[in-house]
Amino acid sequence: LHESWPAETSDVAYKRLHLRRPSSMPEARTTRGSVEDVSAEQDFMNLGRWLMENTSDKELTVLMAQLGLACKATSRACAKAGIAGLFGLAGEVNSTGDDQKKLDVLSDEIFVSALINSGACAVLVSEERDEAIIVPEEKAGRFCVAFDPLDGSSNIDCNVSTGTIFAVYEKLHPDSKDSSEADILRTGTDIVVAGYCMYGAATELVLCFRSNDAGVERFSLDPSLGEFIHTHTAVKIPPGGGKKIYSCNEGNSCNWDAPILDAVAQFKAEGYSARYVGSMVSDVHRTILYGGIYIYPADKKSAKGKLRVLYEGFPMALIVETAGGIGSTGLFQGKVQRMLDLVPGSIHDRCPVILGSPRDVKLVLSKYEAGN
């Protein structure tokens, strides 16, 4: 190599070879524009600050902060699932007969640990556990939480969005040291806080406080801060019903009743688009932001529907209603019902689910009225 260099010292030739810049090569960027400008970022409305400013209940604030922590830990686990070997089945089935994924088990343990150690919970109900957890008296508080730790986990291996859904109740007798399933087997109208966290392209937390007049609140996880940042307040379904979208698993249509079949046929005839992810969090989140309707009805195979009342139907119905929509069961137990008025008979009870804009839900309900 040295023999091919010019007749000058190898040191000089080396410097010329490596310092010569082609005319097309841009000059090095030395301005501040090449670095993320954070000089204007001085004020952060994170989840903790928002809770302190909008709730007067310290115990509830602690509980919600722990739920936020569990959501961040689950988001991290989902993001690293492939690297950490968390894809695939755990070899068990959960309380409702679904095959458990490894991430189902991990996310359940994350939420149970966070909630028990919050010191604010008395009763916990998880989709992944057959029985309710009664928190030991030395760590017990006055709230009860029902949750699906990882909704849509059947999609996790193919990197489709998943999520967590939860509902928070206050005990029937907050000052009592005794707790039982009765503290949480109540109508959806008794929920204190409903929420879900979606793990997708971004991690987003959506909350609805019964006592908060503002309504539905949205928070996005800033990975650089490790904090949920408040992004939207008083979220509403678009006026007039929004985009014409219907969301359902049409693979089950051969088992649907006539009113659901008629409604879906009319949606198609009116030019509606079909959108179905198969993760309730993703489908309902889109319905709230864009409009349309989400349907998971009862059918010939599942007379009570497939979705669980306490930790899927109730919290989503409360959020949708607060956003200006309607949450109904359709025809269930002999009558058309508002979902939040149901009284669950067991912690893993099921119900049909029809959620969305008034324009579209009323159309479905009109089919039941027409069929008497």
Q: Which residues are catalytic?
A: 98, 104, 127-128, 148, 150-151, 312
Q: What is the longest distance spanned by two Cα atoms in the chain?
A: 101
CA atoms within 13 A on the CB side of 107: 36
- Pairing between β-strand 293-296 and β-strand 307-308 as defined by DSSP bridges: unpaired
- For residue 118, what are the CA distances in angstroms to 77, 274, 362? 21, 42, 41
> Nearest 5 degrees, angle CA 170-CA 174-CA 178?
110
- For residue 227, what are the CA distances in angstroms to 165, 239, 243, 263? 19, 31, 32, 42
- For residue 228, what are the CA distances in angstroms to 69, 92, 124, 143, 308? 10, 33, 24, 23, 27
- For residue 161, what are the CA distances in angstroms to 79, 168, 191, 202, 279? 11, 24, 26, 10, 7
> Nearest 5 degrees, angle CA 133-CA 136-CA 138?
150
Q: How many angstroms separate the CA atoms of 178 and 196, rounded?
A: 29
Alpha-carbon dihedral angle through residues 359, 190, 195, 57, given to the nearest 10 degrees = 130
Instruction: Report residue 162 as tokens.
Output: 């998943």
Give which of 18, 161, 157, 93 is closest to 348, Cα–Cα.
Answer: 93
